[in-house]
């Protein structure tokens, strides 16, 4: 059976009790924590730094953490987040002038290598870097804020990315991030998505234990 994971995005969590929120979603069945880093330059928002990630690890959070860096320049940040406890480090190709070098920095710092693709970005560049990748994060909204509407054209892009992965004969996870709700699961699972990044749909619910269980049951029964 193909591995499928749920990755709550803590951008939508209650920052005042962040450690507790993360432990709760993991105890309720989440698999990966999605950690959005924004610099108010590459995207119009400002969020977490390496110290927050370290504090999460110090709070005895052992689950994999995908650090999605939406910042420019990015190279100098990679070792900091790797040292703080990142499992995956996912970057945007527009955030670096030398993408192969940047991906090598992630690998050299002991993290799995991810790359994020914005909604309007062509996927042609993947042909030149796919052999370095462990994860491809397909953005289904423009990055920067939670509570955005899922862009339906993302489905076509996922299909094209999946074809490239098949041709590469590599084990690369496809992750989707942005406006994902329960109604999108069927289409995304049919396209071979491995990781569902879901933020506001979980954390804005009065009972996110119920939401996580509902999602996980659907995934496991697909």
**36 counts as catalytic:** yes
Report the distance separating Cα 125 and Cα 128, nearest Å. Answer: 6
**Residue burial 187-220, b: 16+ Cβ < 10 Å; e: rest:** ebbebbbbbbbbbbbbbeeeebeebbeebbeebe
Q: List the one residue out of 165, 158, 206 whose CA is nearest residue 184.
A: 158
User: Which residue in the list 31, 39, 66, 177 is annotated as catalytic?
Assistant: 177
**66 counts as catalytic:** no
User: Which residue in the list 36, 39, 66, 134 is annotated as catalytic?
Assistant: 36
Q: Which residues have a catalytic role annotated?
A: 36, 177
């Amino acid at each position: 059976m193909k591995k499928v994971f749920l990755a709550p995005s803590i951008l939508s969590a209650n920052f005042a009790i962040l450690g507790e929120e993360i432990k709760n979603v993991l105890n309720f069945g989440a698999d990966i924590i999605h950690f959005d880093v924004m610099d108010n330059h590459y995207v119009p928002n400002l969020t977490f730094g390496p110290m927050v990630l370290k504090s999460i690890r110090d709070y005895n959070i052992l689950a994999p953490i995908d650090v999605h860096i939406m910042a420019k320049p990015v190279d100098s940040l990679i070792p900091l987040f790797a040292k703080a406890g990142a499992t995956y480090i996912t970057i945007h190709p527009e955030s670096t002038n030398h993408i192969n070098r940047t991906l090598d920095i992630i690998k050299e710092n002991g993290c799995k290598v991810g790359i994020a693709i914005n909604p309007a970005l062509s996927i042609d560049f993947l042909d030149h870097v796919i052999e370095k990748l462990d994860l491809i994060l397909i953005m289904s909204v423009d990055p920067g804020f939670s509570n955005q509407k899922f862009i339906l054209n993302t489905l076509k892009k996922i299909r094209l990315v999946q074809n490239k992965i098949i041709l590469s004969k590599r084990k690369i996870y496809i992750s989707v991030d942005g406006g994902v709700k329960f109604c999108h699961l069927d289409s995304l699972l049919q396209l071979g998505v491995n990781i569902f990044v879901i933020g506001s749909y979980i954390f804005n619910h009065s009972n996110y234990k119920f939401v996580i269980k509902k999602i996980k049951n659907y995934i496991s029964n697909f």
